[in-house]
Each structure stands twice: as C-alpha cells, then as structure tokens.
Structure 1
C-alpha cells in the first residue's frame, strides 16, 4: 500500500500535461514523474514490486486527474 501519496503539475501552465509524485512504500520514500501517456519515470531507485506499485499509481492518478 502506498502511503502519503501526493502529486502536483510539472509545469506552471497547468494545461501542459505531466505530474510529479511522491509517496512512501515499505518505509522508503519514492519520487517520480507521471507522463501524459501514462509512463512513469522514477527519480532515483525504483521500488521493489515495481509493477504492482505502478498499478497503484495509475489507479490513483486516474482517480485524481482524469475523473
């Protein structure tokens, strides 16, 4: 489970797509960029269970951004 998930637009012009995000997973903080096409670029090391974490991020971003 992701804890303390937060995101914000990459650009001041909020019409341009792209977001940065941060969260804790198993007591480790991770950050990255969520691209408009749904790609995730990690800033630093990727979490263990990366594919499961990506699914959780996609669900959260879909709920918060595209809803």
Structure 2
C-alpha cells in the first residue's frame, strides 16, 4: 500500500504537462515524474519489477482522484 503520497505540478500555475510525485511503499521512499499520459519516470529508486505494476495502478488511482476529479 502506498503511504504519504504527495504530488505537485512540474510548472507552477499549471496542471500539465506533469507532476512530481513522492510516496512510500513498504517502507521504501520512491519519487519520480508522473506524465500526463500516465507514464511514470522514476528518479533514483526504481521499484522491483514484480511490484511495479501494482504501484503504478495505485498511483493512477490516486492521480485520478486528486488531479482529474
């Protein structure tokens, strides 16, 4: 489960072209850029391949709720 999820626009006063995101998943901090097409560009720490799909799904849900609602 994702905890401490935060996001902010890459460009002030604009909701596009993307958002800087950060969160914890199983006690590990991750951050990256969420692009308007739903692609996630990971920063220094990339999630393990077996958990990446689950994490991306949760992030998409959070972004739909917070940004597009």
Asked if Structure 1 and Structure 2 have the same fold, meaning a TM-score greater than 0.5 normalized by the shorter chain, the answer is yes
Alignment of 1:25-36 (within 5 A): 25-36=25-36
Offset, 1:15: 4.7
- Residue in 2 aligned with 1:24? 24
- TM-score normalized by structure 2? 0.89
Gaps of 5+ in 2: none
Contact 2:21/2:34 (8 A) holds in 1: yes
**Which segments of structure 1 move beyond 3 Å, counting only runs of 4 or more?**
none
Contact 2:9/2:15 (8 A) holds in 1: no
Gaps of 5+ in 1: none
Offset, 1:46: 1.5
Number of aligned positions between the proteins: 67
Offset, 1:26: 1.0
